[in-house]
Amino acid sequence: MAIADNSTDGSLHGVMRFVRSLAGFVVVVALTFLGLLAITFFIGRVVPIDPVLSVVGDRATQEQYDAAKIAMGLDRPLIVQFFSYVGNVLGGDLGQSVSTNRAVAADLVRVFPATLELATLGIIIGVLLGVPMGVAAAVYQGRAADQIIRVLALLGYSVPAFWLGLVGLAVFYAGLGWVAGPGRIDIFYDGIVPPVTGLLLIDSLIAGDTDIFFNALDHIALPAVILGFFSLAYIARMTRSFMLDQLGQEYVTTARVKGVAEWRVIWVHAFAPIRVPLITVIGLSYAGLLEGSVMIETVFSWPGIGNYLTVALLNADMNAVLGATLVIGSVFIFINKISDVLYRILDPRSRS
Amino acid sequence: MSAPLLSIEDLRVSFPTPKGRIEVVKGVTFDLGRERLGIVGESGSGKSMTGRAILRLIRPPGVVTASRMQFDGMDLMALSEADMRALRGARISMIMQDPKFSLNPVMTVGRQIGEALRAHERLPRAAIRARVIEMLNAVRINDPERVAKMYPHEVSGGMGQRVMIAMMLIPKPSLLIADEPTSALDVSVQAQVLDLIDDLVRETGMGLLLISHDLNLVARYCDRILVMNAGEVVESCAARDLHAASHPYTKGLLAAVPQMHETRDVLPVLDRSAWGGTGT
């Protein structure tokens, strides 16, 4: 993995420390990535589905079958296959997808931004609403506000995603007409803006096409709100329990003894120390959304990675499955690393 | 003698339990002038609850009642929450027990002390900084500039408690409640911290309410002593008359204090039936 080395000015000592921590970081990421690669590869090879069969079809003759098997390199020992796969991956080649007949890497570049866009909007909604709701529930523990928030959070836990998606579409699209229907964009807008980031909302702004921007926004609004609701439920519950624990801490009482205003007691003294565990919760929640919510993506015909992975799995398209799994795994590794960096910034105790 | 600084009559604190309300403070009455008053008692005797009730820091579902709770002419029970907040820290302050838990772990020491001042006075940043450094000097911390930038986990227990004292005294309160200020500290630094509190109390002439389970310590640093047991004041006397205490509970406590050069093999056990207290 290539990581741009920003040269930091300062003492030689500082530079050395930076280089050492960067090297450590690269080694850890590389090892994690290799482990991920090995596990997904071997699981992919031992599952009882035959990738050759999915290429040649079940009416092929034995000769055709054998020829395809050799062409795909599946006749070689497993360990040889693995190393050749690792070599290909390092070269950016994830193989061909048998279901789309395109390079898996090219497919992923197309589908991942769709999920990224949806998940990012979803997590923003989840954090902006979930954190204040959790704090409010803890502060007003046992009162009406707490009960309402807890019921909402419980709904977010127990309502199936596909049901909420279908009902959302029935009410807000078919019934009220407030939002656009399934898909990322209306068909006559499709493929107009040149893909730069792959994120339609951003690409349309880069192209300066506000019509497309608002159309894409119309399409993403409902699924993003639904995903946001699910992550909100989790984030609000966790925030509430972290805050309840904090509000019982001695230093919160200390702040009250000092005569500090109540909003400061809550947001500065009680909330500040829970930022670190909250980052873990938000990071995991975001990673979960980036994995692609298969239910939501299916209901909304969203061409994202969840959808792609499901179709690939059903077609025994192992290259596509492995490629998508690698992307998801990388997302987890990346978000974990970001969380680590944020911990160090936010918690003085983890610095020394 | 003018009106006392703090006058409390029939203070009661209760909490609901599945078996009904339980009173943890059962009608405590005392006056406090600009003097040093000690409250002693075992764990659960209600001494800490008394301290927190004065600051109105007992949170629901706890309930506080008193037929009188007056501080400097103000009725503490009748004050609004906003008025009470203006009073906390500025007029009545409280040193908490253990600096490991009572200092905010993610805020520098200097900011926490400064915040206590900022909550009550509008001052420019530089003036607050200067007062913080001055206060850290007053609690005998070397190199206050450096300590002000440290986080609580970077300072020792004794230093943490000095920081706590600095934080509670920076707005110059007239009554200081010290709730077991040294029980979390090493014996070697306990005396230092108490001497410091004692000096600062004498210098500023504020009232001190020292809450502790340690009879000797309270006798040494206070003018007057209240002994609490099971939520009630069972004995009230001048510190120097403690040895002449009349209540059997106090006598029992005194008898249980280990003596230097003693030959007793077994320390006496409190006989609670002597005063009809709760048996254990």
Partner-chain residue, chosen from A253, A264, A269, that has the shortest CB–CB distance to B57: A253
Q: A257, B55: Cβ pair inside 8 Å?
A: yes
Q: B98, A250: Cβ pair inside 8 Å?
A: yes
Amino acid at B55: L
A270, with CB counted inside 10 A (0-12, 13-18, 19+), is buried
Give the separation between CA B255 and CA B8, rounded to whole angstroms: 30
Q: List the domain boundaries for chain B.
A: 6-257
A148 pLDDT higher than 90: yes
Q: pLDDT-derived band of residue B92, with 50, 70 and 90 as boundaries?
A: very high
Greatest Cα pair distance in chain B? 62
Report the predicted TM-score, pTM, of the whole model to 2 decimal places.
0.82
Q: Which residues of B touch A259 (CB under 8 A)?
A: 85-90, 116, 119-120, 171
Closest by CA to B116, choosing from B97, B132, B136, is B132
pLDDT in tens, A256-309: 999 999 999 999 999 999 999 999 999 999 998 888 678 888 888 888 898 898
Written as six digits, the tokens of A313 are 């799995």
| Rounded mean pLDDT, A67-96 | 85
Closest by CA to B119, choosing from A156, A247, A273, A264, is A264
Q: Which of A194-203, A208-217, B79-88, B192-201 is least confident?
A: A194-203
pLDDT in tens, A2-21: 444 444 445 677 778 778 87
A143 — contact with chain B (CB < 8 Å)?
Answer: no
Q: Which residues contact A171 (CB under 8 A, 6 or more apart)?
A: none
Q: What is the pLDDT of residue A131?
A: 95
Per-residue b/e over B109-131, b at no fewer than 16 CB within 10 Å?
bbbbbbbbbbbbeeeeeeebeeb
Q: What is the pLDDT of residue A40?
A: 84
The partner residues of B236 in beta bridges, in order of sequence, read B226
Q: What is the pLDDT of residue A150?
A: 93
Q: What is the pLDDT of residue B279?
A: 44
Shortest Cα distance from A262 to chain B (angstroms)? 9
| Rounded mean pLDDT, B242-255 | 77
What's the mean pLDDT when you consider all of chain B? 86
| Rounded mean pLDDT, A72-98 | 85
Q: B167, A258: Cβ pair inside 8 Å?
A: yes
DSSP A96: B
Closest by CA to B171, choosing from A258, A241, A350, is A258
Q: What is the CATH number of domain B6-257?
A: 3.40.50.300
Amino acid at B266: V
Q: Which residues contact B51 (CB under 8 A, 6 or more apart)?
A: B39, B94, B177, B179, B209, B211
ipTM comes to 0.86
A77: left (phi over 0), alpha (psi -120 to 50) or beta: beta
Q: How far is CA B268 from each of CA B163, B254, B264, B274, rounded to the nearest angstrom?
A: 39, 10, 9, 14
Q: Which residue has the tokens 């007057």?
A: B224
Q: pLDDT-derived band of residue B278, with 50, 70 and 90 as boundaries?
A: low
Q: Which residues of B touch A269 (CB under 8 A)?
A: 104, 107
Report how many Cβ contacts below 8 Å link chain A to chain B: 80
What's the mean pLDDT when you consider all of chain A? 86
Which of 23-62 (A) contact B at CB < 8 A? Answer: none
Q: A259, B87: Cβ pair inside 8 Å?
A: yes
A352 pLDDT higher than 70: no
Q: Which of A17-26, A200-209, A249-258, B53-62 has the highest mean pLDDT?
A: A249-258
The partner residues of B14 in beta bridges, in order of sequence, read B23, B63
Check residues A352 and B116 and name the one with the higher pLDDT.
B116
The strand pair at B68-71 and B175-179 is best described as unpaired
Closest by CA to A142, choosing from B96, B277, B276, B61, is B61
Give the separation between CA A262 and CA A266, rounded to whole angstroms: 6
